[in-house]
Structure 1
């Protein structure tokens, strides 16, 4: 099930508007296109992605399209079936990108006027076998995007063709310090609004990796790894002005805020007790 809510501008309280089936088990990610007319959902267990029209008041319409993924990967425990982990509209709002952890692919769709998820002329991108692509983030001004790969704790850089939506691999970097040899699963990735840095969360190392972006090539260079002061940072969020990063420690029962300095590094500010936080977002006032 997925639901739509109205946000009270003064109090921040939520009022439920309606709900629709997510058209698959284990819905794990939702997004809205730049026009505010369509919403998309990825179903991790159900191996499907779905698209919905949005009414003027924000209510969800019936699913306009449902696409089932097929395939598997080399990890018998985590990749026996497809697992779409996110669905993200691209910067031009012409394409949707779906990292599939189970198939090691990044599927690319082009929503039409009815929000149906049509194939594109660009081929799906195949990640390194066993990498497990999870989330994707786009550079604000350059044709680059970054995909965090959960199973191998890596982040891959791609050059993106704005015309076709296609992706070409640039580089692949570990999300961890070289000396770390424990268990880890990378989770979330975001690009700073300035385009100068990329941030990736590490569950196991329990840190946020900070990477500098080479503006000429799109490649990443490790800058720092900041502890999240809690276990299992499943999600991170950047303030729209790039001044603050939030880390959601799912098994640490806390949301931790960091200030971002002029070099992109994180400075601890405060921790808030929150039971099992798995996602955070910033809302901009109208």
Structure 2
């Protein structure tokens, strides 16, 4: 289903929306934005984490992505540990970190986190070291903005941990762990389930999204000391049974967006950076009207230009596209597009926002889409790649050329 931009403007009395589209169109013709297919367009590298359980098999894959065509070319495949379902690469692109989403690690209960050095000539990975994650089924890892701390969410354990990162990229054992408590009304909420752990734009707070307790839990972040200090009250409480999963900040730092797995919604939030708290602006469905089949949401991203938001539906197997009102931060439904595969666990936009790449976990494929810079709408490029149980895609500029 596609909603035309003209309808959006009428529906929302959205004068700012037309101004935004005009500004984007001007940028696209002023020479400030490199368009696909023009001379000088650079390829991207794509690191793919998978749900392959064997330590002896290739589990992290590297592809080259053409922004001109959306084509994916495999560069390499290598062992990355068991179930490296989520990856993180700091801005310097010297290192890569991967969780091992397992119930046991080195013979003990819990999962693990692996550190890799990145070869600047080829993009290949060399294992540096591994550490326990301090909880079972780690499903998310991010780096604080100094690169000194890895932040890990342990789903089954319902806790979060901070692992110090040395200058050489190696991980130390967790220096801080925080256990969540509570439950929710949904059958999948019998206990806490930490599903996301990210720093805020100022690196003052870290926020843990807990699917099991319908909360966003805030922590004062001290990466130099390797410390987390929990706030007395939740930073945000979602609607009962919503099952919040991932949180993403808008580029302006004043807004954030929360995708709710269990009730298939996205919540727009105003962010109070001083207090480290969120206030609900709006909650909207990620599904088209009339759809009554099974669904659970997974991933969420804001376009680099801050004009559009994308959210993935597993069951409906689609990407929901929203325009973002530049004044209020509220969301306007634009499109929902079939991902051409099953269970879009994760997706990513390239750094320029030209291409969106979807990892369809249960159909073992990556699919690329062209992004319209004026409407945010997605069009399949016709380019796909086969990958076993892809769970995560990290798209970075090709630094090897």
TM-score by length of 1: 0.97
2:192 corresponds to? 82
1:104 corresponds to? 214
Change (3 A) 1:38 1:106: same
Separation of aligned partners in 2, 1:208 and 1:123: 29
Separation of aligned partners in 1, 2:228 and 2:258: 21
2:362 corresponds to? 251
Q: Which blocks of at least 5 consecutive residues in structure 2 are unaligned? A: 1-111
1:282 corresponds to? 395
Q: Which has the higher helix share?
A: 2
Change (3 A) 1:271 1:285: closer
Separation of aligned partners in 1, 2:397 and 2:181: 38
1:139 and 2:221 correspond: no
CA RMSD, aligned part only? Answer: 1.2
1:210 and 2:321 correspond: yes
**Which runs of structure 2 are paired with 1:25-36 in the superposition (5 Å)?**
25-36=136-147
Separation of aligned partners in 1, 2:305 and 2:227: 33
Separation of aligned partners in 1, 2:368 and 2:287: 21
Residue of 94, 102, 109 corresponding to 2:204: 94
1:272 corresponds to? 385
Contact 1:122 1:165 in 2 (8 A): no
Residue of 28, 37, 40 corresponding to 2:148: 37
Separation of aligned partners in 2, 1:237 and 1:175: 17
Structure (1 or 2) with the larger CA radius of gyration: 2
Runs of 4+ in 1 over 4 A off after TM superposition: none
Say which is worse superposed, 248-257 or 9-18, in terms of deviation.
9-18
Change (3 A) 1:238 1:142: same
TM-score by length of 2: 0.70
Separation of aligned partners in 2, 1:153 and 1:105: 16
For 1:179-218, what per-residue CA distance to the aligned partner results, in whole angstroms no more than 9, with x for missing partners?
Answer: 2111100100001111100000000010000000011111
Q: With a CA cutoff of 8 Å and minimum separation of 6, indicate the structure with the bigger relative contact order.
A: 2
SS at match of 1:247: strand
For 1:147-197, what per-residue CA distance to the aligned partner results, in whole angstroms no more than 9, with x for missing partners?
Answer: 000000000010001112110010000001012111100100001111100
Contact 1:48 1:69 in 2 (8 A): yes
SS at match of 1:240: coil
